[in-house]
Structure formats: C-alpha cells, structure tokens
Amino acid sequence: MSVQCRLITRTAEYEPQPGDMWFNPSAGDAYCSVEYLATWKALRPPLWVVLPNGDWFCVDSQAHKNKPHGWTVTGEAPLITVTPSIHVLQGSDAAETYALAWVSDQWRA
C-alpha cells in the first residue's frame, strides 16, 4: 500500500488522514531521540505523521521508552526519508503487521 505524504497545518477541525504530517512545537523534548536533538532541534519542531493504518507516529521520538535512540530523518517535510523501518502491529493478536520500509514522497508499506 502506498500513501501520498503531505505537510499540513494541524487544526482541531481537521482529522489527519494517512500520509498527513505536521510539526508539533508543543511536544517538548522528553521523548525525542538523540538523533532529533543533535540534528533537527535547532531547525524544526518534532514531526508527526499518520501511518497507513491511521496510527499517529512521531518520527523524532525514541524507539523505546527510556532508550535515547530513535529514527534517522533526512530531507525536508513532506519529502523525508525515515530509517530504519517503522513496524506497527495491528490488531489484538498482532497477526497483521505493517512495516514502513521507507518514507520519501509516499509511504511504502
């Protein structure tokens, strides 16, 4: 499944759709990755995206709670690349998994 990525201005009236991304200046640094803090913090707020399954995901977050590393983000939104892949478990038994192999101008799940 491919979803076109686009940069939006997040408002209360609009429910973000898969592929939408926005900057969240109020997110704070508590859960931001060392990659974000070293590379992007001085340039932009944390970036959120809506994954193909509808989940919201901060590409600048830590991969695991209390572990400082996360994803490497290159490019400028919405034309970004996120590595390594983002794995999202879907369903109560986690039988269906979406693996986001890379992001550029569209999702490849």
* Domain assignment present for 68: yes
* Domain assignment present for 1: no
Per-residue pLDDT of 43-94, as tens digits, reads 999 999 998 878 899 999 998 877 899 999 988 999 898 888 887 666 555 5
pLDDT in the model for residue 101: 42
Instruction: Report how many domains make up the chain.
Output: 1
Burial code of 16-53, b = ≥16 C-beta within 10 A, e = fewer?
A: bebbbbbbeeebeeebbbebbeeebeeeebbbbbbbbb
* Domain assignment present for 96: yes
Domain with 38 in it: 6-108
- Closest listed residue to residue 104, CA positions, set 21, 31, 4: 4
Per-residue pLDDT of 92-105, as tens digits, reads 555 555 555 445 55
* Domain assignment present for 84: yes
* Domain assignment present for 78: yes
* Domain assignment present for 30: yes
